[in-house]
Amino acid sequence: EISECLVGSEMCKETVLEQDPRPAYDTDESRAYGVTFSGFDIRFKVHGDVLTVFEVVDIEAAGGYKKVK
């Protein structure tokens, strides 16, 4: 459970992603998604039941949050 993990830990990030944070109505396998967690923008794709993280951006180091087009 998310409340039991340490914020910023690898295990906690995995726990958040295991919840499949995509909108329930959107199952487009070609689309990239993102979730903001603990100061990071975690970008991922889902194909079938496999979630693949392809980019992790430190929001502060990147100069703040920027919308992905």
Q: What's the rounded mean pLDDT across residues 54-62?
A: 85
Q: What is the pLDDT of residue 11?
A: 61
Tell me which of 54 and 15 has the higher pLDDT. 54
Look at residue 7 and tell me whether its pLDDT is greater than 90. no
Look at residue 45 and tell me whether its pLDDT is greater than 80. yes
Q: Tokens standing for 22?
A: 């995509």
Residues 45 and 54: beta-carbon distance below 8 Å: yes
What's the chain's average pLDDT? 77
